[in-house]
Amino acid sequence: MGEAAHRYDGTLPLEYRTQESRLNILGFWIFLGAEVALFATLFATYLVLFQRTGSGPTAGELFEVKDVLIETLLLLTSSFTCGLAIFEMRRGRLAGLLAWLLVTLLLGAGFITFEIREFIHYVHEGATMQTSAFLSSFFVLVGTHGAHVSLGIGWMILIIIQLLQRGFTPKTARKVFIVSLYWHFLDVVWIFIFTLVYLLGMVI
Amino acid sequence: MKWSEFFVTGEPLIYAADVAIVLTMVGIVFVLTYFKKWKWLWNEWLTTVDHKKIGVMYIICAVLMLFRGGVDALLMRAQLTAPNMKFLDAQHYNEIFTTHGTIMILFMAMPFIIGLMNIVVPLQIGARDVAFPYLNALSFWLFFFGALLFNISFVIGGSPDAGWTAYFPLAGNEFSHGVGNNYYAVALQISGIGTLMTGINFLVTILKMRAPGMTLMRMPMFTWTILITCVLIIFAFPVLTVALALMTFDRIFGTQFFTMANGGMSMLWANLFWIWGHPEVYIVILPSFGIFSEVVSTFAQKRLFGYKAMVGSIVGIAFLSFIVWVHHFFTMGAGPAVNSAFSITTMAIAIPTGVKIFNWLFTIRKGKIRFTTAMLWSLAFIPNFVIGGVTGVMLAMAAADYQYHNSYFLIAHFHYVLIAGTVFACFAGLHYWYPKMFGHILNERLGKWTFWLFMIGFNICFFPMYFLGLMGMTRRMYTYSADLGWTPLNVVATVGAALMGIGFIVLCYNIYYSARYGERDMTGDPWNGRTLEWATASPPVHYNFPVTPVVEDLDAYWVMKKKYGGFQVKEEDLKPIHMPSNSGRPFWMSVAFFVAGFGLVFKWFALAIVGALFIVLGLILRSFEDDDGYYIPVDEIKRMERAARKGA
């Protein structure tokens, strides 16, 4: 820390202006690196286990295309609206930022709702995470992503409250920026889930 | 669950431990109350975000865990001294080798290294703290309560008993019914999260907070090894996180990842465990290489030989460490092609490691060597570690490994690298940086006693194990029959273990003796050091540097001393210093992790949810916190500097 921590650079975007913010943003990028390793491990586990269905259903028998497509559309759109939110922040428009964050949040909540519906549907079909190694790895991989999205929604709500209380400050701007990094990251993970879990599951 | 299942019963050793734990706790409470130290404990230690104090706490825990793991080791040696011993039964022996391994790696070696890096790295790069001081405190307390959770298992519920590698299906519900392996999964998870955050924290610290002029290639070698270690942590620990989470799901929620039926695959655990586990070995050995580099260079009074080759070989070792994991289970049937590939990558690690050995030797060559205790540990490291390394190359040959696999030959090998590498480094680092931590020097005479007792004891204990392994003695067997002919070497090994134990006791006495009578370090630079940590007072004032030092070359402080006669601070250059505020939240959030973890271990989900809610509450409070720290005014800095430097 020290005076270095408050070294202020007015030429940078708001979220990058203090040294503390720059450290936080770099730290968060590195954290995302660790998250990549985490999800990579889960994907590897899934790919090792997904044909080991025991006496339970196979991926092809189980997956609901319609729900998954709706989830995908909702989450991909939310990533776009999240980008718009940052765009509004860079233009210094608090109302625009808040509006797009709210849209992002609702789309995320919609995604989670459909995912929970999908999971409940599978469980009703008798496909629980205890049924087979395939289903254990499926529920843990997709569920970990879902838990991340849920956490992101809670986090975004906290930041929206802080934006309403404090307006634009280097600190709130930095928080918005970091949550947006997180949100885009989850979107990328979902693209891999969509491809490697659902598409692959329906082909093989 | 009945109370008789909740508390471990039936063993006199356990009852003795129960009594000892209760007496110790009563004793601590009494001392704190009698001397009115509760407030001091809270304000100075439990809520601190100062990297130096956090480092000291890490090291205190590591020494305590060295005691615990060492007692486990002595119990095992006692049981194996003679054939057909009845000292420990098979189950108790299983528990003891499991906790010995887990504690020594994760709760002794790791915190010792992380403690030293906490104390030293910010000082070496001329920073005032780490990038995220609050997170640093949280890392420590998560480690602390993870270790606590793991350690209470031997009196509450029963210890894990499936080995420190916890291989499935043995560690699964089918073969391990108790809560022991739940403790393993949950406690390691909690402290592992702390370690991951430490990795991120120090990577940002080293990348972004170096003093002006300190380019990457002017960083002290210890800082370099920590930088690379952080990268290893960041990419290896998430794999452990996932592996442990899957284990938790299997054991507590009945999933089928590693089970015997319904498609589960127990080998997947072995792969995940070692994809983390092998880099983990380098996470504890690379910083050790860094410590030896600093010590050798200081006490040979020469610049480190082959600095660039040293950096290159650290990076090389780190890269290779991720592609060797299969060598831990050559015998599990991956086939000749896979085994050959991993055999070659494993042997390749010997090349950069050999480069480093020669660099240390050339640093010593023609140096004006001072045989301090720290230097003795470093000099002893070289031949002992080479023995461990060469037998490692023997083990790396897959075909030959079928003979050695899981024999005492392997036990001897990894103790030669982990003790002669990491433990020697921890002791070297402790003696070397002790004055920086506490302001006084560890007594050199007692230090040398520790060194000779421990180093000779270590060789007497582990060298015979190579031969025991070749004679057929396998790992984890709790007793053996007399006609196998293993008795004489086992007696020798136990004598060696006892010598190591005596060495440890001398070290503990030395800590006490030096605190009372040890030589005070008034200069801040007792060893004629080369790097920036010696430019501060001993112990450093909590802001470390009154003004940020400017680095002109490698061995920054050495250059300063030669050019300017030391680190020159002009009072007119002083500016108010910004420092982070203390916080009690990392402490109580980690308590919440402990409570949640304890609930999970016993499947008391209501308790687990209560703990989890407090964790979430802590996160929310942190998010809304608007604390920008505080400034130390210039007059205050002047006053503190004069107080710290009055002896110089």
For residues A110 and A67, the answer to whether their CB atoms sit within 8 Å is: no
User: Residue B6 — very low, low, confident or very high, per pLDDT cuts 50/70/90?
Assistant: confident
Cα(B319)–Cα(B335) distance, integer angstroms: 24
CA distances from B516 to B123, B170, B364, B572 (A): 26, 50, 34, 38
Cα(B29)–Cα(B162) distance, integer angstroms: 35
- CB distance from A151 to chain B under 8 Å? no
Amino acid identity, position A58: T
Residue A2 pLDDT greater than 60, yes or no: no
The minimal CB distance from B268 to the residues A4, A48, A139 is found for: A48
For residues B280 and A63, the answer to whether their CB atoms sit within 8 Å is: no
- Residues from chain A that touch B236, judged by Cβ atoms under 8 A, are 37
Cα(A155)–Cα(A143) distance, integer angstroms: 18
User: Residue A3 — very low, low, confident or very high, per pLDDT cuts 50/70/90?
Assistant: very low
The minimal CB distance from A30 to the residues B203, B249, B620 is found for: B203
Chain segment B16-67, per-residue pLDDT in tens: 888 888 898 899 999 999 999 999 999 999 999 999 999 999 999 999 999 9
Tell me which DSSP letter residue B555 carries. Answer: S
- Residues from chain B that touch A24, judged by Cβ atoms under 8 A, are 132
The minimal CB distance from A2 to the residues B128, B203, B204 is found for: B128
B471, burial (CB in 10 Å: exposed 0-12, middle 13-18, buried 19+): middle
Cα(A40)–Cα(A33) distance, integer angstroms: 11
Residue B203 pLDDT greater than 70, yes or no: yes
Chain segment B476-489, per-residue pLDDT in tens: 999 999 999 999 99
Residue A1 pLDDT greater than 50, yes or no: no
Judge: B241–A162 Cβ closer than 8 Å, yes or no.
no
Q: Is residue A42 part of a domain?
A: no
Cα(B595)–Cα(B607) distance, integer angstroms: 7
Q: Is residue A131 part of a domain?
A: yes
Angle formed at CA B113 by CA A24 and CA B446, multiple of 5 degrees: 145
> B26: which residues sit within 8 A by CB, 6+ positions away?
none
Q: Is residue A115 part of a domain?
A: yes
The alpha carbon of residue A57 is apart from the nearest alpha carbon of chain B, in Å, by: 11
Tokens of B236: 């290896």
- CB distance from A203 to chain B under 8 Å? no
CA B378 to chain centre: 18
Q: Phi/psi of residue B631, each to 5°?
A: -110, 140
Of the candidates B482, B451, B491, B486, the one whose C-alpha atom is nearest the C-alpha of residue B467 is B486
Amino acid identity, position B483: D
Q: Which residue has the tokens 């030096």?
A: B514
The alpha carbon of residue A41 is apart from the nearest alpha carbon of chain B, in Å, by: 6
Mutate to test the interface with A, among B233, B256, B274 (most CBs of A within 10 A): B256
Judge: B127–A2 Cβ closer than 8 Å, yes or no.
yes
Cα(B505)–Cα(B510) distance, integer angstroms: 8
Tokens of B603: 């499947």
B25, burial (CB in 10 Å: exposed 0-12, middle 13-18, buried 19+): exposed
Q: What is the dihedral of CA B521, B522, B527, B529, to 10 degrees?
A: 130
The minimal CB distance from B204 to the residues A23, A41, A48 is found for: A23
Q: Is residue A47 part of a domain?
A: no
Judge: A2–B580 Cβ closer than 8 Å, yes or no.
no
> Residue B172: in which H helix or E strand, if any?
none
Cα(B545)–Cα(B270) distance, integer angstroms: 47
Judge: B234–A30 Cβ closer than 8 Å, yes or no.
yes
Amino acid identity, position B450: T
Of the candidates B53, B4, B5, the one whose C-alpha atom is nearest the C-alpha of residue B603 is B5
Q: How many CB atoms lie within 10 A of CB A90?
A: 14
Chain segment B440-466, per-residue pLDDT in tens: 999 999 999 999 999 999 999 999 999
Helices (DSSP H) in B397-486: which residue ranges? 398-404, 408-417, 424-438, 444-470
Cα(B486)–Cα(B480) distance, integer angstroms: 8
**pLDDT above 90 coverage of chain B, percent:** 90
What is the predicted pLDDT for the residue at A6?
53
Instruction: Locate the chain A residue with the closest alpha carbon to B230.
Output: A30
> B472: which residues sit within 8 A by CB, 6+ positions away?
B407, B484
Judge: A140–B237 Cβ closer than 8 Å, yes or no.
no
Instruction: Locate the chain A residue with the closest alpha carbon to B238.
Output: A38
**In terms of residue numbers, what domain contains A151?**
60-203
What is the predicted pLDDT for the residue at B12?
83
For residues A27 and B200, the answer to whether their CB atoms sit within 8 Å is: yes
Q: Is residue A181 part of a domain?
A: yes
For residues B493 and B77, the answer to whether their CB atoms sit within 8 Å is: yes
Q: What is the 3-state secondary structure (H, E, C) of B92-133?
A: HHHHHHHHHHHHHHHHHHHHHHHHHHHHHHHHHCCCCCCCCH
Chain segment B225-269, per-residue pLDDT in tens: 999 999 999 999 999 999 999 999 999 999 999 999 899 999 999
Amino acid identity, position B467: F
Cα(A59)–Cα(A49) distance, integer angstroms: 11
Q: Is residue A139 part of a domain?
A: yes
Question: Reduced to 3 states, what is the DSSP secondary structure of residue B250?
Answer: helix
Taking the alpha carbons of A174, A179, A180, A184 in that order, is the dihedral positive or negative?
positive
Residue B194 pLDDT greater than 90, yes or no: yes
ipTM reported for the complex surpasses 0.90: yes
- Residues from chain B that touch A52, judged by Cβ atoms under 8 A, are 263-265
Tokens of B144: 């602390």
DSSP result, B23-57: HHHHHHHHHHHHTT-HHHIIIIIIT---HHHHHHH
Instruction: Locate the chain A residue with the closest alpha carbon to B50.
Output: A1
User: Residue B7 — very low, low, confident or very high, per pLDDT cuts 50/70/90?
Assistant: confident
Q: Average pLDDT for residues B81-105, to the nearest whole number?
A: 94
CA distances from B477 to B72, B82, B285, B395 (A): 15, 13, 28, 20
DSSP result, B490-547: HHHHHHHHHHHHHHHHHHHHHHHHHHHHPPB--SS-TT---SGGGGS-SSPPTTS-SS
Residue B539 pLDDT greater than 50, yes or no: yes
Judge: A23–B579 Cβ closer than 8 Å, yes or no.
no
Q: Average pLDDT for residues B66-71, to the nearest whole number?
A: 96
Judge: B256–A131 Cβ closer than 8 Å, yes or no.
yes
Amino acid identity, position A30: I
Tokens of B339: 């085994």
With 0.90 as the threshold, say if the pTM is over it: yes
- CB distance from A126 to chain B under 8 Å? no
Q: Which residue has the tokens 């005076």?
A: A3
Chain segment B355-369, per-residue pLDDT in tens: 999 999 999 999 999
Cα(B108)–Cα(B111) distance, integer angstroms: 6
Q: Which residue has the tokens 């009494």?
A: B30
Tell me which DSSP letter residue B577 carries. Answer: E
Residue B641 pLDDT greater than 90, yes or no: no
CA distances from B263 to A53, B239, B267 (A): 6, 21, 12
Residue B515 pLDDT greater than 50, yes or no: yes
Judge: A158–B131 Cβ closer than 8 Å, yes or no.
no
Angle formed at CA B382 by CA B376 and CA B385, multiple of 5 degrees: 120
Tell me which DSSP letter residue B423 carries. Answer: I
- Residues from chain A that touch B239, judged by Cβ atoms under 8 A, are 37-38, 41
Long-range Cβ pairs for the range A69-74 (8 Å, 24+): A70/A114, A71/A111, A71/A114, A71/A115, A71/A118, A71/A190, A72/A190, A72/A194, A74/A107, A74/A108, A74/A110, A74/A111, A74/A114
User: Residue A9 — very low, low, confident or very high, per pLDDT cuts 50/70/90?
Assistant: confident
Q: A-B interface: how many C-beta pairs under 8 angstroms?
A: 137
For residues B213 and B552, the answer to whether their CB atoms sit within 8 Å is: yes
Q: How many domains does chain A have?
A: 1
Residue A35 pLDDT greater than 60, yes or no: yes
Judge: B204–A42 Cβ closer than 8 Å, yes or no.
no
Q: Is residue A36 part of a domain?
A: no
Cα(B68)–Cα(B504) distance, integer angstroms: 12
What is the predicted pLDDT for the residue at B646?
63
Cα(B342)–Cα(B255) distance, integer angstroms: 31
Q: Average pLDDT for residues B195-211, to the nearest whole number?
A: 97
Q: Average pLDDT for residues B109-118, to the nearest whole number?
A: 97
Chain segment B272-327, per-residue pLDDT in tens: 999 999 999 999 999 999 999 999 999 999 999 999 999 999 999 999 999 999 99
Q: Is residue A20 part of a domain?
A: no
Whichever domain contains A105, its CATH number is 1.20.120.80
